[in-house]
Structure 1
């Protein structure tokens, strides 16, 4: 029995058989055999030849370079693979990391059958051809660096920027959304305290203007369900695109989740902190300068941490007084259950309010803000 073709098979790109000048096979009558699975082929039919020029002309090179890249991390070779959603901006593409052999296994169904002289045939695997191509996208390293000027030359940057452009003059519904969102922050979250409100705005503006400045303080919102804690956090988080992550299950928080936060700027911990050990994990995330990312087969990468953390809870937390790493705010119930009010925020953000909110934070002066001043 013949062994099925495998992506680990050696690809012979040295063609001694008939290949046209344009890189396609010309099939002669002698190559057609009734016993071959290629019985339906006609004389003169043309098949794709697996050479460099054909790879480029077929669009495969652009496709692979658009979704994949070869990268060195220390002495290890890895493949960076993105899964872009055609309906979403590139900033929201998910990213996975593979060892080379695992990548070829993943892409092994992307193949072509090449027919040889005498009726024989072989399968070629496009991932292998791309991997060996001189124009393959290649990086000398990988990093997560929002301050792009500091990115080492030739490195792949996990930071993709903000998916939302600022808009100073939105539609009326978008302007209302921002106005009510700021009301929620001031009257609902800060309980009318002007100093707390100003601190919140500065903390948020700094995260937008200089995401590479890691604050040493996490924002914790404690209150009743339905008072707008989640709206306050999630609306802000949407501005960060793929660099915004949510943890909403205690087990997810207490277990290893480094893969989730490796390229994260804003982390929203939604009712996932329940015990003293969770608080210790939270504090470690605030203070830790690096975060590791585990990719396939238990291997890991280490990146700088730029985590900004917001958290909501319905429970009483045992927090030490004077802890400068946590700003604990008890929210007001003024907007409790006011679904119409919250709808103006959520719906209006979809109607340009998010772009107006981005403009608001970018225009706010926060260069001299000290995150530790309030906590």
Structure 2
């Protein structure tokens, strides 16, 4: 094939009078390239890990002046100055970052008016998990429908005012519960047979709907944050924050 021809044309080093090409190296050391499986993350060298590390490196020391604006948004807007919710949100996201591929088994619901900073908050989280996040899913089918590959190998997915959630509401609710807590789900992609994959996704639902989702009294899967509109319409605040 064309690929093999290209490999034969690549000279790596000379062994006596023989030129060692890329195809020679591949044939001799093919065991180094062989994988027996694929997981989101694995310490087994024979298993290919989808997770290859984060875009950003961890700092030895934290300069709080760099993040105090964002933490302020989390405190006064997202958690509405509720200290318990504030600490929960920080710990919830910290768990995801510190335990790649693990699930919190709870979903966060951000309920509040438009233009108060909900998406500013979620965009930052998704950027920190760049490559392993989906920041703007608006179709319930991307979670529970026929073609749900949008959440495969994603550690965080943001459900943003899902337009068709009300259709088949009860079945959607049950399916979402499974996505939140179960450790595998079936992916259905066009032209590819259905297959079961690891479920590593954690969810945040963003809405301005007064009654966004039906939650049973004993359901522990959801944490509802009634967000504060203290900065709504404050262009100067958001310009400074985002810069």
* TM-score, normalised by the number of residues in structure 2: 0.78
Q: 2:55 aligns with which of 160, 163, 168?
A: 163
Q: 2:93 aligns with which of 193, 204, 213?
A: 204
Is the 1:235–1:346 contact (alpha carbons within 8 Å) kept by the matching residues of 2?
Answer: no
Q: Secondary structure at the match of 1:299?
A: strand
Structure 1's 238 and 265: CA in aligned 2 closer, same or farther, altered over 3 A?
same
Q: Secondary structure at the match of 1:214?
A: coil
Is the 2:112–2:226 contact (alpha carbons within 8 Å) kept by the matching residues of 1?
Answer: yes
Structure 1's 295 and 157: CA in aligned 2 closer, same or farther, altered over 3 A?
farther
- Correspondences of 1:144-155 after superposition (within 5 Å): 144-145=40-41, 148-149=42-43, 152-155=44-47
- Correspondences of 1:175-214 after superposition (within 5 Å): 178-214=67-103
- 1:279 and 1:239 map into 2 onto residues whose CA distance is 29
- 1:158 and 1:300 map into 2 onto residues whose CA distance is 19
Is the 1:259–1:292 contact (alpha carbons within 8 Å) kept by the matching residues of 2?
Answer: no
- 2:227 and 2:62 map into 1 onto residues whose CA distance is 31
2:156 is equivalent to residue 262 of structure 1: no
Is the 2:147–2:190 contact (alpha carbons within 8 Å) kept by the matching residues of 1?
Answer: no
2:161 is equivalent to residue 271 of structure 1: yes
- 1:302 and 1:310 map into 2 onto residues whose CA distance is 23
- 1:257 and 1:343 map into 2 onto residues whose CA distance is 37
Is the 1:267–1:310 contact (alpha carbons within 8 Å) kept by the matching residues of 2?
Answer: yes
Unaligned runs of 5+ in 1: 1-6, 12-48, 59-128, 348-375
- 1:337 and 1:314 map into 2 onto residues whose CA distance is 16
Q: 1:298 aligns with which of 189, 192, 197?
A: 192
Higher relative contact order (CA 8 A, sep 6+): 2
Q: Which residue of 2 aligns with 1:338?
A: 234
Structure (1 or 2) with the larger CA radius of gyration: 1
- 2:105 and 2:143 map into 1 onto residues whose CA distance is 19
- Correspondences of 1:61-140 after superposition (within 5 Å): 134=27, 137-140=33-36
RMSD over aligned Cα atoms: 2.8
2:144 is equivalent to residue 248 of structure 1: no
- Cα deviation for residue 224 of structure 1 reads 0.5
Is the 1:240–1:265 contact (alpha carbons within 8 Å) kept by the matching residues of 2?
Answer: yes
- Cα deviation for residue 225 of structure 1 reads 0.3
- 1:195 and 1:208 map into 2 onto residues whose CA distance is 20
Q: Which residue of 2 aligns with 1:324?
A: 220
- 2:222 and 2:87 map into 1 onto residues whose CA distance is 17
Is the 2:40–2:50 contact (alpha carbons within 8 Å) kept by the matching residues of 1?
Answer: yes
Post-superposition CA distance 1:125-177 (Å, at most 9, x none): xxxx97xx6266432221112xx43xx3412111122111134466xxxx655
- Cα deviation for residue 194 of structure 1 reads 0.9
- 1:140 and 1:251 map into 2 onto residues whose CA distance is 32
Post-superposition CA distance 1:166-192 (Å, at most 9, x none): 34466xxxx655211111111111111
